[in-house]
Structure 1
Amino acid sequence: MTDLGALYLADLRERMRGVKGLGEGALGQLDEGQWHAALTPEGNSAAVLIQHLSGNMHSRWGALRHGYTPGAEGEAPGRHRDAEFEEGEATPAELWALWEAGWAVFLEAAEQLKPEDLTRELTIRGEPHSVLAALQRQVAHYSGHVYQLVFLVRTLRGAQWQTLSIARGGSASFNAQMAARR
């Protein structure tokens, strides 16, 4: 019999590495001057999205980076969430470092979690969640922001955009290649 918790955690780790890779595929296409560009005056630039993702990952998962800790709070006391949404002057290298640091915290915490941890309690801003619920909340949150990055970069790059999935008109060829591998 398969341990559902172990299966879930393995899938979560793999899928979130894929989400990270998708974001990196988009970010890697930005020109230096596009990191701080937003599509609307109230929109978020890639830099702002990275700042927010990194801040959230550190806050939510820093306490679990070395495994489950009873009483863990998923909102770090020193976090300044509003500042994450302020446009700064970080360089692309600094933004890549923030991206990597945030994902390292989340993925390290995910690696340390055990199936039995999924039903344990974690609070976020004092609100109790199971670890499973907290993970699901963040999977949706992080994926949403990464897809915002993809849309933003695709729009900024226009005709220079390099697809991160199956190119338009390429489904039949892709399906044939997949069938040949089986």
Structure 2
Amino acid sequence: MEHFSQFMSATLNVFEAQKQMAERAVAQVSDEGLRTALDAHTNSIAVIMKHVAGNLISRWTDFLTTDGEKPDRNRDDEFVDTFSTREELLAYWERGWSVLFESLNSLGPEDLKTTVYIRGDAHTVPLAIQRSLGHTCYHVGQIVQVARIQADDEWNTLTIPRGQSEQFNRERWGEGKPGK
């Protein structure tokens, strides 16, 4: 039980951190910037967010009992910007994350032994969780990168600012190095 609790706590923590990072990046981008792709071969932030939310809804709705690729999912439509406003986009984004968090919070230790399916392929529950986490992190990285480019000189860093690692470490640990 302890390992299950630690695993789920860590999983929820990383998903939440990724959600917050994306949202902090998106907050720095204009409405127009959300909808602007860097070139004809890339997706806008709005499209990436729509895809992430659609994926989370499909994968995590009835997670233990139905294939993660739901019959009513239109994945190709996720790559078309169809939201009229930022608020509509953010509401859909929030819906995806809510489905994920509700499903993860409903899991018990015995569920880790369950086999689930994604596009007909068998996955252990831990593998399906890690697959979703990896997919989400990949796209959050895209959101942050595109947001950084869109925000240009107005960007506020989401992590330790470039060239300030030593200062951060001193503030965190004082003059000594961590672990010493």
CA distance in 2, matches of 1:146, 1:122: 25
Q: 1:9·1:115 contact (CA, 8 Å) conserved in 2? A: no
Q: Does residue 1:93 correspond to 2:87, yes or no?
A: yes
TM-score if structure 2 supplies the norm length? Answer: 0.92
CA distance in 2, matches of 1:18, 1:154: 18
Q: Does residue 1:29 correspond to 2:28, yes or no?
A: yes
Write the mapping of 1:1-182 to structure 2, written as runs, cut at 5 A: 3-64=2-63, 69=64, 71-180=65-174
CA distance in 2, matches of 1:90, 1:105: 23
- Give % identity: 35
- Partner-residue secondary structure (3-state), 1:72: coil
CA distance in 2, matches of 1:130, 1:89: 35
Deviation at 1:89, TM superposition (A): 4.4
TM-score if structure 1 supplies the norm length? Answer: 0.91
* Letter paired with 1:120: T
* Letter paired with 1:116: E
- Partner-residue secondary structure (3-state), 1:63: coil
- Partner-residue secondary structure (3-state), 1:78: coil
Q: 2:83·2:89 contact (CA, 8 Å) conserved in 1? A: no
- Partner-residue secondary structure (3-state), 1:123: strand
Cα RMSD (Å): 1.5
Deviation at 1:116, TM superposition (A): 2.1
* Letter paired with 2:72: G
Structure 1 residue runs without a partner (length 5+): none
Deviation at 1:145, TM superposition (A): 0.2
CA distance in 1, matches of 2:84, 2:146: 18
Deviation at 1:90, TM superposition (A): 2.7
* Letter paired with 2:49: I
CA distance in 2, matches of 1:32, 1:153: 11
CA distance in 1, matches of 2:108, 2:28: 36
- Partner-residue secondary structure (3-state), 2:62: helix
* Letter paired with 2:135: H
* Letter paired with 1:111: N
Deviation at 1:119, TM superposition (A): 2.0
- Partner-residue secondary structure (3-state), 2:17: helix
Q: 2:51·2:75 contact (CA, 8 Å) conserved in 1? A: yes
